[in-house]
A and B are shown apart, each in its own frame.
Chain A
Amino acid sequence: SQQGEEDPQALSIQEGENATMNCSYKTSINNLQWYRQNSGRGLVHLILIRSNEREKHSGRLRVTLDTSKKSSSLLITASRAADTASYFCATALYSSASKIIFGSGTRLSIRP
């Protein structure tokens, strides 16, 4: 079963705008990871944030984590057509850090 839910389920924005996706989860975690998947292909790892971290940056990506609210957000700034993909959060449980559980995903479309 899914550990978390993501919202929105689908997001369509204009190229150049920022995209924000949210992830909520249910149990205590060791870390949270964000992945991108293009058209049903393999997953590309984007960024990992540990439970003791609150914010992390990687290029145009910014991830926040609020463990008190059991939620995370992924911000993509200055979006490009190539950012069109599905984005998934995945949580490594505190009790079993090697096993990760995926959220429901957000389908992001960037309009040219």
Chain B
Amino acid sequence: SAVISQKPSRDICQRGTSLTIQCQVDSQVTMMFWYRQQPGQSLTLIATANQGSEATYESGFVIDKFPISRPNLTFSTLTVSNMSPEDSSIYLCSVDRGDTQYFGPGTRLTVL
């Protein structure tokens, strides 16, 4: 398995501001993934983050809105920029270990 932590666990933010979410893994991994879960919905992949290269974004997600950093093999950040109430969601990071993906506890974001 994998031990993954996220900070903050939750936050309430004002529209127009930005929030950076941190994801820490207990051992080195090649790829880290960021997901969004809107209220009452399933998880949608935002982007895949490889160390040493730019993140790969899924359709509907852009770097200006969700910049991602991957400075080393155990850490990544996701920034939600210029937030609006529609960005209120749970944001989760994950890693794959063998064939299995393991998820962090999530960051619950509320935008007022």
Contacts and interface: CB of A to CB of B under 8 A. Distances in A.
State the majority secondary structure of interface residues on B.
Answer: strand
Contact residue range for chain A?
Answer: 20 to 34
A102 B43 contact: yes
A71 B96 CA distance: 23
B80 to A, nearest CB: 17
Bin the interface of chain B by size: 20 to 34
A40 B99 contact: no
Contacts, number: 52
Interface string B79-112: 0000000000010100010011111111010000
Which of A1, A97, A100, A101: most chain B Cβ within 10 A? A100
B106 A99 contact: no
B108 A45 contact: no
Ranked nearest first, the 5 interchain pairs of A and B with the lowest CB-CB distance are A42-B105, A43-B103, A102-B43, A102-B42, A105-B42
